[in-house]
């Protein structure tokens, strides 16, 4: 479980540090966009009041608190799951990514009322209208890792 804690801690810290850097230090909240390596990597300020792709993004206080509660329940559920059914090193790392990312977005909702999304990537004639952040990457990678690296192993073939 130490691995879950440390991966979660560093994920959370990286997420919050990049958001502080981009939102406050680079002042993306006022500039709204900064081209880094167009069109591949751009910084585009987007306040996400909902979930993925802005779904449930009505910006109401009730939605904000429901989404905070859901993220905390998911983080707690992941910790409970990996304690109950130890997944191995990669599964613990995946759980840490998911927990750290979820908590990073919870802090955004508490501080700003919305999640600060800022990474925008496009390629090959496709212009991506959406932005995301380090926490989103971590939650996605963590969920994918939990699918790959957890679950019951098959019983030995010579077992009764």
Annotated catalytic residues are 117, 136
Reduced to 3 states, what is the DSSP secondary structure of residue 146?
Answer: helix
56 within 8 A of 50, measured Cβ to Cβ = yes
Q: Tokens for 15, please give them.
A: 């997420």
Question: What is the rounded CA–CA span in Å between residue 130 and residue 57?
Answer: 14
Question: What is the rounded CA–CA span in Å between residue 84 and residue 106?
Answer: 25
CB atoms within 10 A of CB 31: 11
């Amino acid at each position: 479980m130490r691995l879950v804690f440390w991966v979660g801690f560093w994920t959370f810290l990286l997420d919050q540090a990049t958001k502080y850097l981009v939102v406050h230090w680079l002042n993306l909240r006022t500039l709204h966009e900064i081209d880094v390596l167009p069109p591949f990597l751009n910084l585009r300020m987007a306040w996400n009041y909902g979930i993925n792709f802005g779904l449930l993004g009505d910006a109401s206080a009730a939605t904000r608190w429901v989404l905070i509660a859901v993220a905390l329940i998911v983080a707690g559920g992941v910790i409970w799951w990996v304690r109950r059914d130890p997944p191995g090193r990669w599964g613990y790392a995946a759980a840490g990514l998911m927990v750290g990312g979820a908590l990073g977005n919870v802090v955004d909702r508490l501080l700003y009322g919305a999640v600060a999304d800022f990474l925008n990537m496009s390629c090959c004639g496709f212009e991506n209208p959406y932005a995301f952040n380090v926490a989103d990457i971590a939650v996605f990678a963590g969920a994918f890792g939990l699918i790959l690296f957890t679950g019951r192993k098959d019983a030995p073939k010579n077992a009764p």
